[in-house]
């Protein structure tokens, strides 16, 4: 059954309850019999048995597909986990948004927590920011995006050898010029959000992972 279709109990007459399929998202209002029916549980990353789905970054939230603002608001409250496909780029596809790690400075950390602490300039319209960029460089580990000037982002293409597109970082570089390429000095110099020319092993605090090793770029 498509995830957007929910069962709404509607009482046709007092002695004949009938289930009617209704296309909707979110909560239904009270039915004639006072029934509330929530959207399919698995859309929220919760199984039919009530168990929260978890991934390498913690709880998995699937209800924010292409809804960056909703994902950001939810992750701000949860302070853990990841919003699946919260972002999208024409040449990259869907991009997961992890809560991540704030980091101790601009040279480490990743995900939304880092953006909130060190790069809030991208958060007013994160989807618009990502959409404004083009692919500058791509390899088997990452995709570097930029606008030809000051806007940059890095999308990782895997996690622990499993295919996964997720946002490592996004930022606007102060003093950038069009003469500077993001795969040379611009993205590798200190003061940028990511240094895509080197990988490191940041410490991911519990409960984000148990034994999974994360290889990401830090700037």
Domain ranges across the chain:
5-39, 44-217
For residue 14, is pLDDT > 80? no
Which is nearest to 98 in space by CA: 52, 64, 129, 125? Answer: 64
Instruction: For the sheet with 142-146, list strands across it.
Output: 54-55, 58-61, 82-89, 93-98, 162-172, 151-159, 142-146, 134-138
Which pLDDT does position 42 carry in this prediction? 53
Average pLDDT over residues 82-92: 98
For residue 81, is pLDDT > 50? yes
Average pLDDT over residues 162-184: 74
SS3 of 101-155: the string is ECCCCCCCCEHHHHHHHHCHHHCCCHHHHHHCCEEEEECCCEEEEECCCCEEEEE
pLDDT band at 176 (very low <50, low <70, confident <90, very high): low
CA 141, CA 159: separation in Å to the nearest integer?
9
Q: What is the mean pLDDT of the chain?
A: 74
- Higher per-residue pLDDT: 38 or 135: 135
Tell me which of 41-50, 146-155, 203-212 is least confident: 203-212
Do the beta carbons of residue 97 and residue 87 sit within 8 Å? yes
Do the beta carbons of residue 72 and residue 180 sit within 8 Å? no
Looking at beta carbons, which pairs linking 85-90 to residues 24 or more positions away fall under 8 Å? 87/126, 87/127, 87/130, 87/167, 88/127, 88/130, 88/131, 89/130, 89/131, 89/133, 89/145, 89/155, 90/131
Average pLDDT over residues 193-209: 46
- Higher per-residue pLDDT: 10 or 65: 65
The secondary structure of residue 27, as a DSSP letter, is -
For residue 9, is pLDDT > 60? no
Average pLDDT over residues 186-195: 44
pLDDT band at 75 (very low <50, low <70, confident <90, very high): very high
Which pLDDT does position 46 carry in this prediction? 72
Average pLDDT over residues 81-97: 98
- Beta bridge mates, 190: 192
- Beta bridge mates, 20: 8
For residue 40, is pLDDT > 80? no
Phi, psi for residue 52 in degrees, rounded to 5: -75, 125
pLDDT band at 50 (very low <50, low <70, confident <90, very high): confident
pTM of the model: 0.65
């Amino acid at each position: 059954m498509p995830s957007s279709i929910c069962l709404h109990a509607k009482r046709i007459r007092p002695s004949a309850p009938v289930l009617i399929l209704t296309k909707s998202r979110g909560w239904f209002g009270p039915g004639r019999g006072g029934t509330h029916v929530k959207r399919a549980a698995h859309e929220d990353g919760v199984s039919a048995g009530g168990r929260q789905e978890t991934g390498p970054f913690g709880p998995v939230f699937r209800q924010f597909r292409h809804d960056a603002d909703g994902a950001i608001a939810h992750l701000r409250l949860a302070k853990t986990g990841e919003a699946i496909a919260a972002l999208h780029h024409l040449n990259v596809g869907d991009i997961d948004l992890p809560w991540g790690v704030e980091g101790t400075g601009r040279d480490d950390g990743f995900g939304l927590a880092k953006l909130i602490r060190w790069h809030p300039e991208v958060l007013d319209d994160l989807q618009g920011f990502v959409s404004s960029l083009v692919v500058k460089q791509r390899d088997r580990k990452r995709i570097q995006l930029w606008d030809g000037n000051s806007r940059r982002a890095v999308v990782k293409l895997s996690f622990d050898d499993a295919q996964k597109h997720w946002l490592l970082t996004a930022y606007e570089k102060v003093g950038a010029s069009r003469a500077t390429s993001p795969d040379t000095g611009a993205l590798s110099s200190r003061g940028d959000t990511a240094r895509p020319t080197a990988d490191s092993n940041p410490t991911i605090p519990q409960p984000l992972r148990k034994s999974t090793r994360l290889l990401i770029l830090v700037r």
